Amino acid sequence: MRVGVICVDPGHGGSDPGAVGPSGAKEKDINLDIALRLKSLFDERGVLCMLTRDKDEDVELEPRCRIANNGAAEVFVSIHCNAAASRDAYGTEVYCFPGSTKGYQLAKCISNELLPIVPVMRGIKEAEFYVLKNTIMPAVLVEVGFISNYTEEKALQSEGYRQLLAEAVGKGVYAYFGMAWPTPKDKVKVIVKGKEISATLIDGKTWVPLRQLVEAMNYTVEWDEITRTATVK
Q: How far is CA 190 from CA 47, 118, 201, 214, in A?
A: 15, 37, 11, 13
Contact 153, 162 (CB under 8 A): no
Contact 200, 186 (CB under 8 A): yes
Return the exposure string of 125-160: e unless at least 16 CB atoms fall within 10 Å of the residue's CB, then b.
eeeebebbebbebbbbbbbbbbbbbeebbebbbeee
Q: How far is CA 113 from CA 78, 117, 137, 138, in A?
A: 16, 8, 21, 18
Strands 92-96, 121-126: parallel, antiparallel or unpaired by DSSP?
parallel
For the chain, the distance separating the N- and C-terminal CA atoms, rounded to the nearest angstrom, is 26
143 catalytic residue (yes or no): yes
Contact 190, 208 (CB under 8 A): yes
Identify the active-site residue in 44, 74, 143, 153: 143
Q: What residues contact residue 212 under an 8 Å CB cut-off, 6+ apart?
A: 48, 197, 198
Q: Which residues are annotated as catalytic?
A: 143
